[in-house]
Structure 1
Amino acid sequence: MRYLDFELSEGSDGVTTLDAMAATPAGRHAEVLAEAQAVLAWCRREFPHTQGPVDEGLDWDHDLHVGLEDGGWHTVSLTLTGSPRFVEAFLAAFGTPPG
Structure 2
Amino acid sequence: MALQFLDFDYSEAEDGVATWDAIASVPQARLDALAQEAQSILAWACAEFGALHGPHEEGGLWQYDLQCERPGQPLQEIRFDEAREALVPALQAEGDGRVTLTLSVSGLPAFAEAFAARFGL
Tell me whether 1:66 sits opposite 2:91 in the alignment: no
Task: Provide the C-alpha distance between the structure 2 equivalents of 1:9 and 1:67, rounded to a whole number of angstroms.
Answer: 23
Task: Provide the C-alpha distance between the structure 2 equivalents of 1:34 and 1:26, rounded to a whole number of angstroms.
Answer: 14
Match of 1:84 in 2: 109
Q: TM-score, normalised to structure 2's length?
A: 0.74
More divergent stretch after superposition (63-72 vs 22-31) = 63-72
1:31: Cα distance to partner?
0.8
Q: TM-score, normalised to structure 1's length?
A: 0.90
Tell me whether 1:43 sits opposite 2:68 in the alignment: no
1:56: Cα distance to partner?
3.0
Task: Provide the C-alpha distance between the structure 2 equivalents of 1:36 and 1:61, rounded to a whole number of angstroms.
Answer: 14
Which ranges in structure 2 are unaligned for 5 or more consecutive residues?
A: 73-95
Task: Provide the C-alpha distance between the structure 2 equivalents of 1:9 and 1:24, rounded to a whole number of angstroms.
Answer: 25
Counterpart of 1:54, as a letter, is: H
Give the structure with the larger helix fraction. Answer: 1
| Identity between Structure 1 and Structure 2 (%) | 43
**Deviation string for 1:68-97 (max 9, x for gaps)?**
12681111111011010101001110012x
Task: Provide the C-alpha distance between the structure 2 equivalents of 1:91 and 1:35, rounded to a whole number of angstroms.
Answer: 16
RMSD: 1.4
Number of paired residues? 96
Which ranges in structure 1 are unaligned for 5 or more consecutive residues?
A: none
Task: Provide the C-alpha distance between the structure 2 equivalents of 1:25 and 1:72, rounded to a whole number of angstroms.
Answer: 6
Counterpart of 2:119, as a letter, is: F
